[in-house]
């Protein structure tokens, strides 16, 4: 299978090749037209100069004068053109060729050529009705007397196509060399650039294959600005790798914690049951151990039920059809009243900072009730006896904020980022379920996140505060 590097290089190479060919052909065409204009201008200037000299000579002498012949030869030699002069009847009387090679003098030009010269002059490829053996580029001008304006004769300046082709070939060779050089440089740059662009993709592919084998430690080197597309892709990939590595670590921790939580009661149940069956446990003590078996069985049942409750709560919290508009102020107050006896038993000073006006929110009322209940239960359970427990409700912008604050043992800073993780139990006293399974705060966060809201915790100097948000009703 062709790599993206090879496909990209091939596409760029083809594009560059056709672009360079188009540019080359354009310059070649422009160069040819330029050469033709230069040639034409040179021939016209020569024809005008010979016509002017011939007109001056014709005032006192004939056009076959040796003086005119010398000027014609001099101009022809300096411009490398072929020049001859014909009289008014079209008979060629002077030629720039050497006498030994000249075969033009004495020849009569066709009337059509003379008529065209008188009317248009001009420039074109012609053999002048057989005067030349092959077609040449010819510029013709008539010779007009300055005294009376009569036609004294004609001047014809010719240039061989081979001369133009020679100049043209030199230009073409130069253009070809430059084109090939530029094309080579472009292809080299494209090769290097394509390889450099494909390298991060190769690294991402290699990293993905390692991910498939369970190795989440590999990362892609960031050699680009994170604001461009490739840099953003690499940055996102590495962040995904970080998340996968963390998720894998949490999954392993989750499995280890579940295994531990299940192993302990199951070992206890199996041990007591074996002791009763094999007679190790005296018959008079069987009831005591059966009670322990019952308690451990119920503990397992609670664990499974809580895990199922967490899953169900997450799904229900994410269901928009269960969300209604209700007064959060009233819900907080009702939930707080259910803790009156427990707060009194612990001699807690409860400070409800609730607004006088209603705060209407859109949420799953039952799920939010559970969130507030769990946070209050956590605060009452771990607040120092005789301390103050604060429940505050306020709104800011389009959000309602609920704050539950207690004074007790400070949560270690290293544990704060993981306080909402499932089965996290660095401090069992901060677990919301009575058996210390570490599902309470995980359930709270799952419900809040299911509403697309946030919950945060802060703990310092013995004061712990949980704050979560809800969307205000419009």
Nearest to 140 by CA among 118, 121, 127: 121
Residue 165: its pLDDT value, please?
59
pLDDT, mean of residues 134-156: 85
Structural domains of the chain sorted by starting position, each given as residue range(s) with its CATH number in brackets: 4-166 (3.30.450.20), 229-315 (1.10.287.130), 321-471 (3.30.565.10)
Residue 4: its pLDDT value, please?
64
Share of the chain above pLDDT 90, in %: 16
What distance in Å separates the CA atoms of residue 469 and residue 452, rounded to the nearest whole number? 9
Residue 39: its pLDDT value, please?
80
pLDDT digit string (tens) for 203-253? Answer: 888 888 888 887 878 888 777 666 677 778 888 888 888 888 877 776 776
Q: How confident is the prediction for the chain on average, in pLDDT? A: 81
User: Which pTM value belongs to this model?
Assistant: 0.44
Higher pLDDT residue, 362 or 252?
Answer: 362
Q: Which residues pair with 360 in a beta bridge?
A: 327
pLDDT, mean of residues 252-281: 78
Indicate if the pLDDT at residue 392 is higher than 60.
yes
Centre a 10 Å sphere on the Cβ of residue 171 and count the other Cβ atoms it contains. 16
Convert 28-57 to b/e letters by CB count within 10 Å (16 or more is b): beebeeeeeeebbebbbebbebbbbbbbeb
Higher pLDDT residue, 374 or 60?
Answer: 374
Residue 426: its pLDDT value, please?
47
Residue 435: its pLDDT value, please?
43
Q: Which residue has the tokens 């009317």?
A: 119
Residue 431: its pLDDT value, please?
42
Residue 389: its pLDDT value, please?
94
Nearest to 403 by CA among 389, 414, 382: 389
pLDDT digit string (tens) for 318-338? Answer: 678 888 999 999 999 999 988
Residue 403: its pLDDT value, please?
95
Most confident region among 121-125, 191-195, 250-254, 355-359 by mean pLDDT = 355-359
Higher pLDDT residue, 102 or 310?
Answer: 102
What distance in Å separates the CA atoms of residue 230 and residue 24, rounded to the nearest whole number? 34
Most confident region among 211-220, 260-269, 434-443 by mean pLDDT = 211-220
Convert 79-102 to b/e letters by CB count within 10 Å (16 or more is b): bebbbbbbbeebebbbbbeeeeee
Q: Which residue has the tokens 């299940």?
A: 262
Residue 432: its pLDDT value, please?
40
């Amino acid at each position: 299978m062709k790599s993206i590097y090879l496909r990209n290089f091939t596409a760029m190479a083809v594009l560059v090749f056709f672009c360079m060919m188009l540019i080359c052909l354009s310059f070649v065409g422009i160069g040819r037209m330029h050469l033709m204009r230069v040639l034409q201008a040179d021939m016209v200037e020569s024809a005008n100069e010979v016509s002017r000299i011939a007109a001056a000579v014709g005032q006192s002498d004939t056009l076959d004068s040796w003086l005119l012949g010398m000027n014609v030869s001099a101009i022809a030699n300096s411009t490398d053109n072929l020049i001859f002069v014909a009289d008014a009847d079209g008979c060629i009387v002077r030629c720039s060729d050497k006498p030994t090679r000249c075969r033009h003098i004495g020849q009569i030009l066709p009337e059509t050529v003379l008529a065209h010269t008188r009317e248009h002059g001009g420039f074109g490829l012609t053999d002048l009705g057989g005067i030349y053996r092959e077609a040449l580029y010819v510029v013709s001008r008539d010779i007009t007397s300055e005294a009376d304006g009569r036609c004294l004769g004609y001047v014809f300046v010719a240039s061989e196509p081979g001369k133009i082709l020679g100049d043209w070939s030199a230009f073409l060779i130069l253009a070809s060399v430059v084109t090939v050089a530029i094309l080579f440089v472009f292809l080299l740059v494209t090769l290097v650039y394509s390889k450099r662009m494909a390298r991060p993709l190769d690294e991402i592919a290699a990293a993905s294959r390692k991910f498939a084998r369970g190795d989440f430690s590999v990362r892609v080197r960031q050699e680009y600005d994170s604001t461009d597309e490739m840099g953003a892709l690499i940055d996102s990939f590495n962040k995904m790798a970080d998340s996968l590595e963390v998720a894998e670590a949490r999954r392993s921790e989750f499995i280890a914690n579940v295994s531990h939580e299940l192993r302990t009661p199951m070992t206890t149940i199996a041990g007591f049951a074996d002791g009763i069956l094999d007679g190790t446990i005296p018959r008079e003590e069987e009831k005591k151990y059966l009670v322990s078996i019952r308690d451990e069985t119920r503990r397992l049942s609670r664990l499974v039920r809580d895990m199922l409750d967490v899953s169900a709560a997450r799904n229900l919290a994410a269901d928009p059809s269960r969300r209604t508009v209700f007064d959060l102020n009233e819900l907080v107050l009702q939930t707080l009243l259910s803790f009156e006896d427990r707060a009194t038993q612990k001699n807690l000073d409860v400070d409800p900072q609730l607004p006088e006006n209603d705060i209407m929110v859109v949420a799953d009322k039952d799920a939010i009730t559970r969130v507030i209940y769990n946070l209050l239960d956590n605060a009452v359970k771990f607040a120092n006896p005789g301390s103050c427990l604060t429940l505050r409700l306020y709104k800011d912008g389009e959000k309602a904020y609920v704050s539950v604050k207690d004074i007790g043992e400070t949560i270690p800073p290293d544990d704060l980022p993981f306080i909402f993780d499932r089965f996290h139990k660095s401090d069992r006293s901060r677990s919301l379920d009575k058996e210390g399974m570490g599902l309470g705060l995980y359930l709270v966060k799952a419900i809040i996140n299911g509403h697309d809201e946030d919950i945060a915790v802060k703990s310092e100097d013995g004061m712990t505060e949980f704050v979560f948000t809800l969307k205000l009703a419009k």
